[in-house]
Structure 1
C-alpha cells in the first residue's frame, strides 16, 4: 500500500495554490484508513468500486483549478516538481509532460527515466506524429498535467482503459504541449501492476486495438467540434502499431502471421519510423513470422513486458547452441 507516500509527495510541493483530492474506489486493503489520517490537508472521497476511470472523473468533478494532475496511488511526485512546472502554466499551454523514474516496490530505481523527452513548447511535431502514427511519445498518467478544458465535453469514453487516452491526443490540437526533459516523478513497478503485463492473449491484443482505434475516432470527432481552423483528422486502418498488435494476436493464438500480413506490417513501420527504431520494429515483425510459435510467444511477451528479456535470451542461447 503506497497511498500514504503518494499523498505526502503531493503535500510536500512548494506551490501555494494547490488542491489535493483523493478518491478511494472502494478499497479493501486499509487505504481509506490511511487516507483519513491526513485530515483536512486533503479532500477525501470514498465511493463504491466502479473502476479507475469513474473514480478519476469523480475527482475531476470536485476540482476547482485551471490545471489538472492525476497522480496514481502507486507513484510519487518529486519534491520540487510543481515549482519547476509552475512557469509553464500559461493560458495557451494545454499540457505539460515530464519524465518519470521507474522504481520497485521498495522505492529503489530499476532503470532509466522515461520516456526520453526533448525540451519543447510547440505542438507541431506532436500533431504530425499523431497524423502519421496515431500517437506521440508521452509518459504514463503521472507524468502529465493538463489544462482543465482539455477534459471538458469529452463525451462517451466507454471504449477506454485509462483517464488520459484521448486527452493526451487532443492536447496538441487545442494548445501548446510543453515537454520537460527532467525527471519530476517516480513510476512504481511492483507485483500487482506488473502482473497485468505478464499474460499475452489474443483477447488482450484485440482489446488494445479497439482502444487505440477508439481513441483516434474519438479524437477525429473532437478536433472537428473544437478546432474549426484545423485540417480534418483522418483515421486510417494501417497504423504500424495496429498491425503489430494483430500479428501478436495471431502468435498468442498459436498461429503464424501470414506473409502478406508481415509485409504490410513492415511497410507500415518503414513509413512511420526512421533509424534504429525502424530497423528494430522491422526485425520484430520478421521474427514473429520466422520463429517457432513458442519463441515468437516469448518475444511477444517481452514486447509487452520488457522485464522478461533475460529469460528469452536464455531460451535463444539454448535453441541455437551446438
Structure 2
C-alpha cells in the first residue's frame, strides 16, 4: 500500500502583484503533488490582483482583507490552513518545476524544516545571478543550533525557500517586534526537529523595482530597526526553547553579536559620527569570535575601513554593505533590469 502524502498548505500573500500572481499560483498548481491546499491572501490590493486570484475558483482558497502587512496576512491564512506542513510563498516568487516532488521524501514527522536555494530572476523571469544562499546538502540541526548560539542566526533563504512542519508555528504568541512570519520560526526549527538543506535551487526569487526600493534607505533608523528585530527574535527564541524544548540547553542572548555591533557602528557613520576605538575593537573581537578564514579577514578589514576612512567614504562603504546591489557586479545587472521598467 502506498503511503499517503502529507497535506501541504501553500500560503501565498499578495499586495499589488497583479503582474506576478498568475505565475506564482500556476507554479504551485502545476506541481506533481496531489495532497495540496493552496491559500491565497489578497492584502487589500488596489490593482487587479484580486480579480486574477478569484479566477481560480475552487482550485484555491481565496481570502481578501484590508491592507495590514505581510505578517498579519500570513497569520490570517495560517488560521485557515489544515496542512501538517506549511509553505509561505511570496506572490512575486515562484516554485520551480518538480520542486514539491523533490521535497516530498522529507515531509516526515522528524523534519521541522526543509530549506532550499533560490534562483534570482528579473521582472521578466530571466536569471540575473547565482542561486543563493550557499547551502550544502545536510540534515544536521546541531550545526545550525551551534551557529545560533554563536552568531544569533544561521544561513537560511528568504521566506519562499522554506517549508515548515506545522507545529513549529504553534504557540508563538505575539510578535510585536516583527514584520515577517518566519523570523523566529526559522530559529526555532533546529531545536524542535531536523532541518534539511537542499543544495540547489527549487524556486525563483524575483528582483524588481518594488523590492529593490526597499534597499534605498540606509538611515540609522533602518539599521536600528534591523537590530531591534534581530534581538527581538532571539529573546523570543529563548522563551520558546525554555518552554518547549526540555532536553535543550537554554539560549543565552548576548548584546555583542557581530551583526549587532556592525549595524550599530554603521548607524553612527550614517549619522555623521565616528565610532570610538573601543567600539571598533569590540566589533572586530566579535568578528574574530564568529568567523574564520577569508570571511574573518574581509570583515575585519571592513571594520577598520569604517574607522579610518573619511566619513563620506565610510558612509559609502556602509551603503555597499547594507545594499550589495550597489556593488559593481550587481549594479550592471540592475541597470539592465531598470532599463526594462
Please state whether the residue corresponding to 1:65 is helix, strand or coil. coil
Alignment partners' CA distance in 2, 1:198 and 1:92: 41
Q: Which residue of 2 aligns with 1:320?
A: none
Q: 2:235 aligns with which of 208, 211, 217?
A: 217
Alignment partners' CA distance in 1, 2:116 and 2:38: 20
Alignment partners' CA distance in 2, 1:147 and 1:212: 23
Q: Which residue of 2 aligns with 1:60?
A: 78
CA contact (8 A) 1:115 1:139 kept: yes
Pairing 1:195–2:213 present: yes
Alignment partners' CA distance in 2, 1:58 and 1:137: 28
CA contact (8 A) 1:206 1:249 kept: yes
CA drift of 1:234 comes to 0.5
Alignment partners' CA distance in 2, 1:262 and 1:247: 8
Q: 2:54 aligns with which of 36, 41, 44?
A: 36
User: Tell me, which stretches of 5 or more residues in structure 2 are unaligned?
Assistant: 1-18, 332-341
Q: Which residue of 2 aligns with 1:75?
A: 93
Q: Which residue of 1 aligns with 2:279?
A: 261
CA drift of 1:63 comes to 0.7
Pairing 1:126–2:141 present: no
In the TM superposition, structure 1's runs of 4+ consecutive aligned residues that sit over 6 Å from their partners are: none
Pairing 1:308–2:339 present: no
Please state whether the residue corresponding to 2:36 is helix, strand or coil. coil
Pairing 1:51–2:76 present: no
Q: CA RMSD in A?
A: 1.2
CA contact (8 A) 2:41 2:64 kept: yes
Pairing 1:178–2:196 present: yes
CA drift of 1:198 comes to 1.5
- 5 Å-filtered alignment, 1:1-322, equals 1-310=19-328
CA drift of 1:300 comes to 1.3
CA drift of 1:311 comes to 9.5
Provide TM-score, normalisation by structure 2. Answer: 0.90
CA drift of 1:277 comes to 1.0
CA contact (8 A) 2:324 2:330 kept: no
User: Tell me, which stretches of 5 or more residues in structure 1 are unaligned?
Assistant: 314-322
Please state whether the residue corresponding to 1:70 is helix, strand or coil. strand
